[in-house]
Amino acid sequence: MTASPAEQRRQRQRTDARRAILDASEALLVEDGYERFSMRRLADRCGYTAPTIYHYFGDKPGLLDALLEERFERMLVDLRSVRPGGDPAGYLRDMARAFVGFALRNPNHYRVLMAPRPDGSEPPRAAEEARELLQQPLHELKAAGRLRIDDFEAVAQSLWALTHGLISLHILRPDHEWSVDLLDVSLEIFLNGLLRGSSARDESRPT
């Protein structure tokens, strides 16, 4: 059943309000961190009253959960677009490119997603899916017996350190002329040191 024009208008207003509140929340977190974040400052920033914010999100933890879930969902759009091919090493390379590409296009999203919450809250569901997608190629390489290193957690953390470091360099030093091949070269070095056998250079992958 098609919604009436009045209901459609109310839905747009709700959508616009949620978007404005979430965007203002992100901006405050990037500027001042979790410690100084408050609903009062958010109300001043977004133009909606505190009761309106509570109506949409319940409470402060609910608001922060909604923000992180929504931003991680945006990242997942890019990660889900990466399709496994015949070579897990190529799959890992493509997944890392998608992850770094998203972060560099959305630096404020990335800053908020990577900042630890002082209340120790569990990561949102979308964050767990993102982690699983990023680690899937490593699981495939391990299952194929191609990893030189037995400590899988150390391998996964090394990949995260590599990609996070590259992202941070670009975000913190945008004035520097970073090589356009920096990510690919770094991944090549990482994979050649990680994998058994021949060079990890890209093999032909089906499109």
CATH homologous superfamily for the domain 1-58: Homeodomain-like (1.10.10.60)
CA separation for the pair 176, 165 (Å, rounded): 15
38-64 pLDDT, tens per residue? 999 999 999 999 999 999 999 999 999
pLDDT digits 0-9 by tens, 118-145: 888 888 899 999 999 999 999 999 999 9
Domain ranges of the chain: 1-58, 69-207
**3-state SS assignment for residue 147:** strand
Structure tokens at 162: 């590599």
Higher pLDDT, 84 or 197: 84
DSSP for 189-202 reads: HHHHHHBSSS--PP
Mean pLDDT to the nearest integer, 102-123: 90
CATH superfamily of the domain spanning 69-207: Tetracycline Repressor, domain 2 (1.10.357.10)
